[in-house]
C-alpha cells in the first residue's frame, strides 16, 4: 500500500502542479488578451459611431434619446466632449442635466485624446459613480468621442471566462487523478509483489509463494529472483546439513576442538573440552576470561606461545597431545588426552622387559642343560637324570609363565561388559579344586561355603582360588590352607588363609603388581611367575571389587577378595 501511495504521489503531484501553473498563466494571458480584445472592440465601435452616426453631430433630445437606447441595449456609454472639455452629449445622463455636468477636460482619457489622439483608462466615474472602462479619441472637428463599458460588464465577462477555466481545470485534474491512480496501480502492484517476496525472503521463510506477473519484464525479474532463491535454499540446506554433520562430528570426537581469533577470543569449542576441563567455553569472550584455574591458564598460554605445531603438555595428572594450526587470522587447537596411551606405552615397555627377563631364566637353564647333555654323551646317568629334571622343571615354569601371560591378556581384553549366561554351581568348583590338590600337595586344604551357586564366571572363580591356594601352598610353612566363599556386605567374598609366615607390610602394597615376587623373604624353594596375584586383582576389578591382604589369627596371611556378582542375562534365561 505504501508503494502505491508513493508511486501515485510521484505521478500526480508534479502533473497537478504543472497543471495549476499552466492554467494560472493561461488564465492571466487570456484575461489580458480579453481586455485587449475589448479595447479593440471599443475602438472598432468608435470608428463605426464616428462614421455612421448622425446623432453625434447635433445635441438635441431626439439624438440623445437614440444614444440612450443604444446604451440600454449594449451597456456602452457614449459621451461627446468639445475641445474645451465641456460635455455635449452623455447617454447615461438625462439630456436636461448635461449642461450642468462637470468639465471633463481633466479626465485622463479625455486629456490623452485631446493631446495625443487616443486615451484609455479604467476608473471610477464621477458622474455615475460606477467603475468604468474608457476609450476616447478625437473627432475630425476636434471634439472627443468617448466610449465606456461598466466594470461590472467586464467583470461578468471575466467571471464567465474564469468559470469556464475552473471547470476545464477540474475536469483535467480529475483525468490526471484517474490516470495517476491507474498508472500507480499498474506500476506499484508488481513492486508490491516483489516487496512481498523480498520481505518473506528477508524474514527467513522457507516456503514462499511467488505471485504471477502479467508484465513480461517483471515476470522475467521474478523468475530470476525465484531461481536465485531456490539456489540459495538448496545451498542453505546443504550448509545446514554440513553444519549438523560437523556439529555431530565435533560432539562425538574423543578430543577437544577449540577455535580462537587472533585476540584469543573463543569462536567455537566442542563439548569434550567443557566436560574435560569443567568450564563453559562461551563464544565471544576471551579464553582467559572464561578460565578461572591458574594451572589451566598456564596450560593454554604455553600451548599458544609455543612455536611447534604439535606438542605434549602435562596438566595435573593427565598428559595431552596438542596440535596448533594457524588458519588465516584464527587459531585451531586440537587437544587429545593421551594419559592412558602414555601409561600403556610405559606399561608395555615395562611388561616387555619383565617378560623378556622372566622368559630368559628358564630358557637359559633349558638351553644350558640341553647343551651340556649334547656335548657330553658319556655323562654319568645320575647327572643326566638331574639335568633332565632341571630341564623339565624349567619347561613347566616356562609353560606356567606363558599361560599366565595369556590369561592376563584375556582378562585385559574382555572389559567389564561381558554377560553371565547362567549361575555357576559351587559343587563343580569344589570338586575340581579338591581333585587338583588331592595328590599334588602335602598340605591339608579346606574349602568352606554354604552357597550353592554364584554370579561369577566359573573360569574366573577357579582362577582366583587356584592362584591364591597355589601361593599359600608354595610359600606357607604351615600344614593347612583354608578357603571360604560367602556373601557379605551386599557382595561375594572369597577368603584364603594360610599359617604364615606373614607377608611384610612393605610388600603388601606391591604383591599385586605384575612380575613382583617377595620369595626372598618367604619359602625359597618355590618361585612363581609373579603374575598370579595380578590376575586375581584384575578379575576383582572386572566385577567392581577389590583385593587386600592382612594377618590372620594364626599369624599367617589372609587374602580377601570382594566381588559384585553379575546378573543372569534375560536372553539366556529365555
Handedness of CA 117, 120, 125, 130 (dihedral sign): positive
Percent of the chain at pLDDT exceeding 70: 89
Residues 164 and 117: their CA atoms lie apart, in Å, by 37
Helix axis angle, 151-202 to 216-252, nearest 10°: 30
Is residue 446 within 8 Å of residue 483, measured between CB atoms?
yes
- Listing from the earlier edge strand, what are the strands of the sheet with 256-261? 266-269, 256-261, 330-337, 318-327, 310-315
Residues 517 and 521: their CA atoms lie apart, in Å, by 10
Residues 548 and 513: their CA atoms lie apart, in Å, by 13
Residue 560's DSSP bridge partners are 495, 548
In the prediction, which pLDDT does 486 show? 93
In the prediction, which pLDDT does 440 show? 65
Q: How far is CA 331 from CA 243, 268, 327, 335, in A?
A: 20, 11, 6, 13
Fold observed for domain 342-407? Helix Hairpins (1.10.287)
Is residue 461 within 8 Å of residue 536, measured between CB atoms?
no
In the prediction, which pLDDT does 522 show? 46
Closest to 536 in 3D by CA, of 476, 475, 461 = 461
User: 2-158 with 342-407: one CATH topology?
Assistant: no
For residue 188 the three cell numbers come to: 506499484
Is residue 437 within 8 Å of residue 445, measured between CB atoms?
yes
**Using one digit for the tens of pLDDT, what is the confidence trace for 285-335?**
888 888 888 888 888 888 888 777 788 888 888 888 888 888 888 888 888
**Backbone torsions φ then ψ of 59, nearest 5 degrees:** -120, 75
Q: Which residue is associated with the grid cell 508490491?
A: 192
**Using one digit for the tens of pLDDT, what is the confidence trace for 167-221?**
888 888 888 888 887 777 777 677 667 777 777 777 777 777 777 777 777 778 7
Residue 305: in which H helix or E strand, if any? helix 294-305
Is residue 127 within 8 Å of residue 102, measured between CB atoms?
yes
- Confidence grade of residue 524 (pLDDT, cut at 50, 70, 90): very low
- Residue ranges covered by each domain of the chain: 2-158, 254-337, 342-407, 416-573
- Confidence grade of residue 453 (pLDDT, cut at 50, 70, 90): very high
Residue 257's DSSP bridge partners are 334
Residues 227 and 491: their CA atoms lie apart, in Å, by 71
CATH class of 2-158: alpha beta
All residues at 6 or more sequence positions from 275 whose CB lies less than 8 Å from its CB, including other chains: none
- Confidence grade of residue 67 (pLDDT, cut at 50, 70, 90): confident
Is residue 125 within 8 Å of residue 148, measured between CB atoms?
yes
For residue 55 the three cell numbers come to: 446623432
Residues 33 and 44: their CA atoms lie apart, in Å, by 16
**Backbone torsions φ then ψ of 480, nearest 5 degrees:** -145, 140
Fold observed for domain 416-573? Heat Shock Protein 90 (3.30.565)
Closest to 396 in 3D by CA, of 462, 440, 431, 334 = 440
| Cα atoms in the 13 Å half-sphere on the side-chain side of 6 | 8
- Confidence grade of residue 570 (pLDDT, cut at 50, 70, 90): low
Fold observed for domain 254-337? Beta-Lactamase (3.30.450)
Is residue 10 within 8 Å of residue 188, measured between CB atoms?
no
Residues 470 and 46: their CA atoms lie apart, in Å, by 161
Residues 131 and 148: their CA atoms lie apart, in Å, by 10
Note the Cα 129 to chain centre separation in Å: 90
Instruction: Kindly report the pTM of this predicted structure.
Output: 0.44
In the prediction, which pLDDT does 520 show? 43
| SS3 at position 380 | coil
- Confidence grade of residue 521 (pLDDT, cut at 50, 70, 90): very low
How many other CB atoms sit within 10 Å of the CB of residue 226? Answer: 13
Amino acid at each position: 500500500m505504501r508503494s502505491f501511495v508513493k508511486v501515485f504521489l510521484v505521478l500526480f503531484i508534479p502533473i497537478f502542479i504543472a497543471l495549476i501553473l499552466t492554467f494560472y498563466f493561461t488564465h492571466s494571458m487570456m484575461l489580458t488578451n480579453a481586455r485587449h480584445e475589448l479595447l479593440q472592440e471599443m475602438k472598432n465601435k468608435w470608428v463605426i459611431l464616428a462614421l455612421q452616426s448622425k446623432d453625434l453631430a447635433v445635441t438635441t433630445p431626439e439624438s440623445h434619446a437614440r444614444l440612450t437606447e443604444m446604451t440600454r441595449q449594449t451597456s456602452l456609454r457614449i459621451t461627446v466632449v468639445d475641445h474645451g472639455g465641456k460635455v455635449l452629449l452623455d447617454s447615461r445622463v438625462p439630456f436636461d442635466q448635461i449642461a450642468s455636468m462637470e468639465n471633463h477636460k481633466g479626465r485622463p482619457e479625455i486629456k490623452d485624446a485631446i493631446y495625443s489622439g487616443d486615451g484609455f483608462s479604467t476608473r471610477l466615474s464621477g458622474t455615475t459613480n460606477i467603475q468604468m472602462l474608457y476609450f476616447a479619441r478625437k473627432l475630425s472637428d476636434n471634439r472627443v468621442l468617448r466610449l465606456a463599458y461598466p466594470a461590472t460588464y467586464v467583470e461578468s465577462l471575466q467571471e464567465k471566462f474564469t468559470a469556464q477555466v475552473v471547470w476545464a481545470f477540474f475536469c483535467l485534474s480529475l483525468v490526471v487523478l484517474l490516470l495517476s491512480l491507474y498508472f500507480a496501480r499498474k506500476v506499484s502492484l508488481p513492486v508490491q509483489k516483489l516487496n512481498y517476496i523480498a520481505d518473506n525472503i528477508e524474514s527467513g521463510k522457507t516456503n514462499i509463494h511467488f505471485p504471477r506477473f502479467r508484465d513480461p519484464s517483471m515476470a522475467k525479474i521474478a523468475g530470476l529472483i525465484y531461481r536465485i532463491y531456490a539456489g540459495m535454499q538448496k545451498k542453505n540446506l546443504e550448509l545446514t546439513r554440513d553444519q549438523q554433520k560437523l556439529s555431530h562430528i565435533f560432539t562425538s570426537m574423543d578430543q577437544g576442538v577449540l577455535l580462537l581469533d587472533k585476540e584469543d577470543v573463543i569462536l567455537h569449542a566442542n563439548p569434550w573440552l567443557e566436560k574435560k576441563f569443567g568450564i563453559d567455553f562461551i563464544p565471544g569472550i576471551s579464553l582467559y576470561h572464561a578460565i578461572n584455574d591458574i594451572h589451566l591458564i598456564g596450560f593454554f598460554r604455553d600451548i599458544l606461545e609455543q612455536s611447534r605445531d604439535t606438542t605434549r603438555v602435562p596438566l595435573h595428572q593427565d598428559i595431552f597431545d596438542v596440535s596448533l594450526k594457524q588458519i588465516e587470522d584464527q587459531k585451531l587447537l586440537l587437544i587429545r588426552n593421551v594419559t592412558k596411551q602414555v601409561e600403556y606405552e610405559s606399561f608395555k615397555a615395562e611388561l616387555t622387559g619383565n617378560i623378556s627377563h622372566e622368559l630368559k631364566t628358564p630358557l637359559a637353564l633349558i638351553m644350558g642343560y640341553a647343551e651340556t647333555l649334547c656335548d657330553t654323551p658319556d655323562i654319568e646317568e645320575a647327572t643326566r637324570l638331574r639335568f633332565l629334571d632341571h630341564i623339565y622343571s624349567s619347561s613347566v615354569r616356562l609353560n606356567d609363565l606363558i599361560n599366565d601371560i595369556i590369561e592376563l591378556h584375556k582378562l585385559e581384553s574382555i572389559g567389564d561388559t561381558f554377560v553371565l549366561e547362567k549361575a555357576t554351581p559351587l559343587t563343580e568348583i569344589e570338586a575340581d579344586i579338591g581333585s587338583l590338590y588331592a595328590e599334588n600337595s602335602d598340605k591339608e586344604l579346606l574349602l568352606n561355603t554354604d552357597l550353592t551357586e554364584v554370579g561369577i564366571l566359573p573360569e574366573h572363580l577357579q582362577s582366583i582360588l587356584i592362584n591364591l591356594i597355589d601361593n599359600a601352598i608354595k610359600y606357607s610353612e604351615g600344614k593347612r590352607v583354608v578357603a571360604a566363599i560367602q556373601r557379605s556386605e551386599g557382595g561375594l567374598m572369597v577368603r584364603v588363609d594360610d599359617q604364615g609366615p606373614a607377608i611384610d607390610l612393605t610388600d603388601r602394597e606391591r604383591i599385586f603388581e605384575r612380575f613382583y615376587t617377595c620369595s626372598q623373604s618367604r619359602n625359597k624353594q618355590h618361585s612363581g611367575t609373579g603374575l598370579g596375584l595380578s590376575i586375581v586383582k584384575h578379575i576383582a576389578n572386572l566385577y567392581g571389587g577389590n583385593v587386600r591382604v592382612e594377618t590372620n589369627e594364626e599369624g599367617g596371611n589372609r587374602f580377601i577378595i570382594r566381588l559384585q556378582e553379575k546378573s543372569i542375562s534375560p536372553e539366556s534365561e529365555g
